Structure 1
Amino acid sequence: MTSPLQQKIKITGPSVVTANRTFDGVVIYRTGAQGWSTDLTEAAIVREAATARALLAESVADDVGAVGAYIAPVKIDDAGVIIPGNLREQIRKSGVTIALPAQA
Structure 2
Amino acid sequence: LKDGSVTEYAFTPNSVGLQTADAGTLAATSADDSAATVRSVLGGTSGPARDVVLLNAAAALAVGGAAESLSDGVVQASESIDSGAASRVLAGLAELSQTLE
Give your verdict on TM over 0.5: no
* Structure with greater contact order relative to length (CA < 8 Å, sep ≥ 6): 1
Q: Which has the larger share of helix? A: 2
Q: What TM-score range do you get, normalising by the shorter chain?
A: under 0.3
* TM-score calculated relative to the size of structure 1: 0.27
* TM-score calculated relative to the size of structure 2: 0.27
User: Larger Rg: 1 or 2?
Assistant: 2
Q: Which has the larger share of strand? A: 1
